[in-house]
A = this chain, B = another copy of it.
């Protein structure tokens, strides 16, 4: 399945922190695509046992004041493009985004939000205390990092629940490519396709 191949690529890039950077596309209010670099924060653990099951979800984080938070509310569809330099593998992961903010009433999701906040570094957490993103630049006073056990209100966990994955291995002539998709029962199927 695609997750074992992704795990292998991640394993082979442990020495390269930027291997966890993927590129997340959404659609804006104006029907134009938006695309930005985000950091992979691991897979959601035990999501398939939640009262509303969530399967194979990738975790990222965002600021509720960012444009993508608004874009997700209007159109939750996303595609991540992720390239690994050593293995020369590309993963395109398509699915719906779920934004879990300060006001989310679901206890399981709110716990996942708290745990993701706790796992961040101080420099990552402090970004959520900064002035409003994309507004005219203001002076940033030196501040203490926020508490590790209480997420700031601006902090959101975002889950990408995949429904289709396109894996391209550039190694080899010709290259090798597979499509994976979930059926109605939630099982992953795969087929090999031309690159």
Which of the segments A1-9, A41-49, A187-195 contacts the partner chain?
A: A187-195
Chain A interface SS verdict (over half): strand
Measured CA separation A36–B21 after assembly (Å): 14
- In the complex the two chains form, is A136's CB within 8 Å of B191's CB? yes
> CB distance B179 to A134 under 8 Å?
yes
Say yes or no: A25 contacts B35, CB within 8 Å.
yes
Q: Are A90 and B31 in contact (CB under 8 A)?
A: no
> Do A138 and B35 touch (CB < 8 A)?
no
How many copies of the polypeptide does the oligomer hold? 2
- Number of chain A residues close to chain B: CB under 8 A: 48
Find chain B residues with CB under 8 A from A177 CB: 134, 137
Can you add 15 more A-B contacts, CB < 8 Å, to A21-B83, A35-B35, A135-B194?
A25-B25, A25-B79, A27-B31, A32-B79, A33-B79, A35-B81, A36-B90, A37-B90, A81-B81, A123-B173, A130-B174, A134-B193, A136-B191, A138-B194, A140-B174
